[in-house]
């Protein structure tokens, strides 16, 4: 049961990581294993050999599900993003908005009577809005051919991957949203799809992206764990701010396609896709409750 459950958890995280909106960290938070996830990453980076073995076992199980989910998701997403951008954007907005109350309820103890920390939520909103508005890629990332890697493009992809993985491990803005902001989401998704179709011209850029992800984890996980442990109220408000700000980034997402389209408007918004985002999160919450009840029953039987 433990192996199957963790594969399902990894699968759900990968689906979140593969699309702008909710991060894999949010899914881990909603499903109730976020602290174990962060602790395992920290053990890989800073703990002893025994702790590393336990962490690798746990992360390996998650990884199996993550790879399965990411591969299947990318094969579908790359084409859908060109043909159904407004439906997908509406789905991402739904995932973002409906996940907010879930996190607030989970963290009500750390948020209660700490309203002075709201400034961190405002900072989080401001960071995402400013990065989106002043897109540092200048739109270049959506048109560049990532199969022809050069030094400047490689450095840009490496740094973007480092920043994106920081978002993926936080229960807030997704790494895919940041890639969308930096103009690299569509090129990276397309590169993964081409690689899965055995087009190895994209292998170098995926290697650079992968090394950026590893560097980002190793350089930031201790900071993230310390902040969540010692300054949890401020961090949760900051995460909520990032999530609210990411809605603006998703609305502007269609403008980052190879053929730029208008941002999401009331006319192009899809209420059905928006509601589907809420349904998906509801199903994930039910899965979390089921797994918790299953664990409690196992503990009672072992006593």
Compute the average pLDDT of residues 262-267. 91
Query: Residue 40 has which token pair?
Result: 């395992």
Q: How distant, in Å, are the alpha carbons of 231, 233, 284 from that of 120?
A: 11, 9, 28
**CA–CA distance from 256 to each of 93, 104, 112, 133 (Å)?**
16, 31, 39, 12
Which 8-state DSSP code applies to residue 292?
H
> CA angle 69-193-196, nearest 5°?
80
Q: What are 228-238's pLDDT values in tens digits?
A: 788 889 988 98
Classify residue 195 as exposed, middle or buried by CB count within 10 Å of its CB (0-12, 13-18, 19+). Answer: middle
pLDDT band (50, 70, 90) for residue 286: confident
Which residue shows structure tokens 């954007």?
A: 89
Query: What's the pLDDT score for residue 137?
Result: 47
CA dist 265 to 90, 91, 110, 271, Å? 10, 14, 35, 12
Q: What would the pLDDT profile of 25-35 be if each residue is shown by its tens digit?
A: 777 877 778 87
Structure token pair of residue 265: 């408007």
What is the predicted pLDDT for the residue at 150? 84
CA distance 169 to 56: 16
Number of C-beta neighbours around residue 63 at 10 A: 16
- Tell me the C-alpha distance between 221 and 277, whole Å: 29
Residue 170, SS3 per DSSP: coil
Could you say which DSSP state residue 199 is in?
-
pLDDT cut 90: percent of the chain above it: 10
pLDDT for the residue 266: 93
Q: Which residues contact 56 (CB under 8 A, 6 or more apart)?
A: 44
Say how far apart CA 157 and CA 134 lie, in whole Å. Answer: 18
User: Phi and psi (nearest 5°) for 242?
Assistant: -60, -40
Reported as type and span, the H/E element at residue 89 is helix 85-106
Q: Looking at the predicted structure, is the pLDDT value of residue 208 above 80?
A: yes
pTM over 0.75: no
Closest residue by Cα to residue 167 from 153, 190, 185, 155: 185
Measured CA distances, 113 to 97, 146, 174, 233 (Å): 23, 49, 28, 10
- Please give the radius of gyration of the chain, using alpha carbons only, rounded to the nearest integer: 19
Find where tokens 């980034």 sit. 249
């Amino acid at each position: 049961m433990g192996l199957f459950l963790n594969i399902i958890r990894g699968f759900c995280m990968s689906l979140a990581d593969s699309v702008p909106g909710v991060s894999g960290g949010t899914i881990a938070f909603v499903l109730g294993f976020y602290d174990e996830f962060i602790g395992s990453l920290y053990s890989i980076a800073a703990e002893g050999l025994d702790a590393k073995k336990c962490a690798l076992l746990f992360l390996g199980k998650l990884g199996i599900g993550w790879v399965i989910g990411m591969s299947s998701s990318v094969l579908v997403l790359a084409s859908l993003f060109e043909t159904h951008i407004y439906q997908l954007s509406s789905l991402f907005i739904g995932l973002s908005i409906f996940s907010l109350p879930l996190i607030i309820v989970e963290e009500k103890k750390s948020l209660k009577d700490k309203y002075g920390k709201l400034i961190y939520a405002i900072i989080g909103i401001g960071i995402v809005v400013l990065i989106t508005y002043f897109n540092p890629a200048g739109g270049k990332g959506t048109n560049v051919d990532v199969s022809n890697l050069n030094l400047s493009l490689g450095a840009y992809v490496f740094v973007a991957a480092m920043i994106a993985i920081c978002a993926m491990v936080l229960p807030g803005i997704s790494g895919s949203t940041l890639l969308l902001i930096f103009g690299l989401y569509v090129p990276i998704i397309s590169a993964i799809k081409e690689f899965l179709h055995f087009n190895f011209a994209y292998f170098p850029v995926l290697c650079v992206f992968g090394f950026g992800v590893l560097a980002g984890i190793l350089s930031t996980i201790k900071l993230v764990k310390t902040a969540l442990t010692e300054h949890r109220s401020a961090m949760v408000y900051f995460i909520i701010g990032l999530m609210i700000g990411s809605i603006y980034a998703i609305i502007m997402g269609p403008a980052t396609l190879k053929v730029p389209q208008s941002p999401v408007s009331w006319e192009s918004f899809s209420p059905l896709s928006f509601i589907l985002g809420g349904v998906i999160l509801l199903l994930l919450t039910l899965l979390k409750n089921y797994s918790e009840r299953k664990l409690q029953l196992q503990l009672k039987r072992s006593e």
